[in-house]
Amino acid sequence: MEVTNSLGGTSNDPECYSGEITIPLTVTHKNRTYQVIKIGDRAFCENALVTKLTLQEGLQSIAPYGVRGMSAITELTIPSTVTTLEPFTLARLSAETITIPNVAYLQQSLMSGCTGLKHLILGESVREISNNLTNNVTTVEDVTCYATTPPTWDGGVANFAPFKDFINTAKLYVPEGCANAYRNAVSGGIYYWRFGTIEEIVEQLPATTLAEALNANEGDEVRIGDEIFIAVVETDGTAILTDNQGNWIGSTFGEDVRTALNYASSIEAGSLQGTLSNLDTNPTITLTKTPAPGQSAEVAQPIVLDMVNEYVRVPGNCLAEVTGYYEGDQIWAFSDPSYPGQTLDLDKTYIGDALDSYMGQHVHLTCIMRLKEAWEPAEQPAEGGEAPRRVHKDDLNSASNYVITPTTGSVSGDITTAIADVKASAITSVTYVSATGQRSSRPMQGVNIVVTRHDDGTTTTTKLIK
């Protein structure tokens, strides 16, 4: 079924069409339902009373004189289900914005005489443009073309070239990574480099907080809107990032990223973007864009968890400074083997045997608090199939659900006799570690963790700001 104008002429009779009009997807007549697939000839031709015309997805075609000359609308979006438009179909419209998402061939003089047109948006499917596409249109400020390959022109006379009346002053927006292709493309009389400016479209995911991102599904792409602090960068290219509010996430940090960040201590809000994945059963972001350095001079601040003086409830995955007694593969709240109190399992991946000299003694550890299992199935998708996994939320915050992983250079003892022993031993090496994990034999600009090794095998750490 098609939309028609039973009154004929210019359809300016108020009893015909006026005000805001939405073309329905279906109509029912005598208990029969019909699909509306076409705007018929002269349905809205030269109409000056309709102020808004909404064409819904499902419409398939527009007759050559279906909407031509509508003089009161400010915008018109052609549905993606319309794949062909005849010459002059959109001519002499008053719309400031015209969007054509799914027409591959833009025919001759399609938008001729649209003297108020400012913004023209063409979809990624456009492949070819005919003569005088926007003839006598000088008001266009910008053209957005989502085609990754520059559309060609089927003409051959420059005087009839598309965009000719505004190309020198309008901006051209093209997909990310395609600007040079447009600048270098030449087809007939189309020289895209003649546009006043060619800029790339940078699509942005909606920004979310790190805490919200940790509730996303495995495989979702996320963009973090918080300023993110770099807690640890390891030699294998992984990193631990935190928002300094008790939330952290692992990251795959290659050398190119570290170079781009210039060893900054934070990442600019909104520039951390990647796919949520699973590494060692804990949430990790696999970067899809290189993040930008932040402005903050702060470093990641651990949460204090003093097992000796308080009952620890871990506030979610976090970077923490844990105080307790070292007992091999665990940290205890008390040194009494018959009653160790609260315990935390210990992962010594980064520190090796650095704690062995403190067996049974009081220690301070800067740790990554990792859930033993941080993923659980999400709700089953409506269409069936295997559900993605989601980050597990530990509502009890029980220490028994976590394993702590001390970070490199984060181990120290504070029992008096231990400190005396360390002071009495000889220093064998001093290493300066930046906030991003860079190591040096000399202090670096900014915050340094000073790792001092002694001839008795013990290690002490201090903080130095240069």
Residue 425: per-residue pLDDT: 45
Over 80: is that where the pLDDT of 168 sits? yes
d(CA 182, CA 148): 9
Residue 261: per-residue pLDDT: 67
Mean per-residue pLDDT, 288-311: 80
Greater confidence, 353 or 269?
A: 269
Mean per-residue pLDDT, 220-247: 79
Quick one: what percent of the chain has pLDDT higher than 70? 71
| β-pair type (105-106, 389-391) | unpaired
- Can you read off the two tokens belonging to residue 440? 């040096």
Predicted structure pTM score: 0.52
Over 80: is that where the pLDDT of 379 sits? no
Over 80: is that where the pLDDT of 438 sits? no
Residue 81: per-residue pLDDT: 93
Average pLDDT over the chain reads: 80
Over 60: is that where the pLDDT of 381 sits? no
Residue 99: per-residue pLDDT: 95
Question: Maximum CA pair distance of the chain?
Answer: 104
**286 beta partners:** 275
Q: How many CB atoms lie within 10 A of CB 201?
A: 14
Long-range own/partner contacts, residues 439-446 (CB < 8 A, 24 or more apart): 444/263, 446/263, 446/265, 446/297
- Can you read off the two tokens belonging to residue 67? 């909407």
Residue 419: per-residue pLDDT: 26
Quick one: what percent of the chain has pLDDT higher than 90? 29
Residue 241: per-residue pLDDT: 84
Q: How many CB atoms lie within 10 A of CB 446?
A: 16
Over 50: is that where the pLDDT of 415 sits? no
Over 90: is that where the pLDDT of 146 sits? yes
Over 70: is that where the pLDDT of 163 sits? yes
SS (H, E, C) the chain: CEECCCCCCCCCCCCCCCEEEECCCEEEECCEEEECCEECCCCCCCCCCEEEEECCECECEECCCCCCCCCCCCEEECCCCCCCCCCCCCCCCCCCEEEECCCCEECCCCCCCCCCCCEEEECCCCCEECCCCCCCCCCCCEEEECCCCCCEECCCCHHHCCCCCCCCCCEEEEECCCHHHHHHCEECCEEHHHCCEEEEECCCCCEECHHHHCCCECCCEEEECCCEEEEEECCCCEEEEECCCCCEEEEECCHHHHHHHCCCCEECCCCEEEEEEEECCEEEEEECCCCCECCCCCCCCCEEEECCCCCCECCCCEEEEEEEEEECCEEECCCCCCCCCCEEEECCCCCCCCCHHHCCCEEEEEEEEEECCCEEECCCCCCCCCCCEEECCCCCCEHHHEEEEEEEEEEEECCHHHHHHHHHCCEEEEEEEECCCCEECCCCCCEEEEEEEECCCCEEEEEEEC
Backbone angles phi, psi at 283, to 5 degrees: -65, 135
Mean per-residue pLDDT, 352-359: 84
Residue 236: per-residue pLDDT: 63
d(CA 221, CA 213): 9
Asked whether 269 and 227 are in contact (CB, 8 A), the reply is yes
Residue 416: pLDDT band (50, 70, 90) is very low
Residue 198: per-residue pLDDT: 93
pLDDT digits (tens, 9 = 90+) for 78-134: 999 999 999 999 999 999 999 999 999 999 899 999 999 999 999 999 999 988 899
Over 90: is that where the pLDDT of 160 sits? no
d(CA 231, CA 300): 5
Over 80: is that where the pLDDT of 380 sits? no
Residue 365: per-residue pLDDT: 87
Residue 117: per-residue pLDDT: 95
Domains with residue ranges and CATH for the chain: 2-201 (3.80.10.10), 207-287 (2.40.50), 415-466 (no CATH)
